[in-house]
Amino acid sequence: MDNLKKLNFTELNPSEMKLVQGGGWVDDVVKIVDFLGGNLDAAAAYLGITVEEIRRLLGL
């Protein structure tokens, strides 16, 4: 999570900014990915976003 300190949030589009500000979205994604054993495909399907979006959110 140290990567979050380095993020430049001005690079986020308005919908991404809303998600980050909307109550720990990144923390929720981390919890879901952990719960699913690191399976990004399953997490993406559950969240209705792409694996690439998860990777970008988590800095992977």
Q: Which residue has the higher pLDDT, 48 or 15?
A: 48
- What is the Cα–Cα distance from 44 to 50, expressed in whole angstroms? 5
Question: What pLDDT is recorded for position 60?
Answer: 84
Instruction: Note the pTM of the prediction, 2 decimals.
Output: 0.56
Q: Give the Å distances, CA to CA, from 41 to 1, 22, 24, 57.
A: 21, 23, 21, 14
Q: Which residue has the higher pLDDT, 38 or 13?
A: 38
CB 40 within 8 A of CB 33: yes
Burial class (CB in 10 A: 0-12, 13-18, 19+), 44: buried
